[in-house]
Chain A
Amino acid sequence: QVQLQESGPGLVKPSETLSLTCTVSGGSIGTYYWSWIRQTPEKRLDWIGYISYSGIPYYNPSFKSRVTISLDTSKAQFSLSLTSLTTADTAIYYCARDYKGLIDYWGQGTLVTVSS
């Protein structure tokens, strides 16, 4: 059974950079796209972007200038970096697997609070 687990800080200060890592277990990195999605306190789901199994990233233009997604196949991990944080970036951040447009496996999510 595929499992994804997010890790990273739960509290970040405004203007700083958020770094999250997702570890994939129980399945191969290959042939899938690996996504980051967040859910705001208002329950809105925002697609941040994904990275292909070959390491090509695709970003939501709403985040493009601030976001980097990278892949480490040797560790079965992928990562999210989001810069210049504001309180509007407070959300639950999910990593997930995308198979041909279907987000079929999700991590449990990690709450990130942006506050001084």
Chain B
Amino acid sequence: DIQMTQSPSSLSASVGDRVTITCRASQNINTFLNWYQQKPGQAPKVVIFAASNLQSGVPSRFSGGGSGTDFALTISNLQPEDFATYFCHQSYQTPQTFGQGTNLEL
């Protein structure tokens, strides 16, 4: 299985900050990497797909990058609604696997 390692596991930030979450794959996954946002009591929601593509309806302050084994999700000008848990997800190979999550807290 491809292991996905996110860092940090938790992150404290303030409204208006710029934060970056990283995700490392245990082998090359090209750009088969997605990022999801999850709020308490809700299912995950796509924010970035194929490493760097912004999902429709997601604010442009979210951006993603990387390829191969190293990826990053950046949120600029943090807004109150951005405080949530973020997961990376690889779909390069089955079984699909997820990072352990990054809890972004105020």
Contact = CB atoms under 8 A, between A and B. Distances in A.
27 contacts: A43-B101, A44-B98, A44-B101, A45-B98, A46-B98, A47-B94, A47-B95, A58-B94, A60-B95, A61-B95, A62-B95, A94-B43, A96-B43, A101-B34, A101-B91, A101-B92, A101-B96, A102-B34, A102-B49, A102-B91, A103-B36, A103-B46, A103-B91, A106-B44, A106-B45, A107-B43, A108-B42
Nearest first, the 6 closest Cβ-Cβ pairs linking A and B are: A101-B91, A106-B43, A60-B95, A45-B98, A47-B96, A102-B49
B46 A102 contact: yes
Contacts of B42: 108
A55 B22 CA distance: 36
Q: Is the interface of A mostly helix, strand, loop or mixed?
A: strand
Interface in A88-107: 94, 96, 98, 101-104, 106-107
Q: Is the interface of B mostly helix, strand, loop or mixed?
A: loop
Interface of B: 32, 34, 36, 42-46, 49-50, 55, 85, 87, 89, 91-92, 94-98, 100-101
B43 A101 contact: no
A103 B49 CA distance: 9
A108 B43 contact: yes
A96 B49 CA distance: 16
A61 B96 CA distance: 11
Given A94-B43, A108-B43, A101 B32 contact: yes
Interface residues of A, number: 21
Contacts of A109: 43
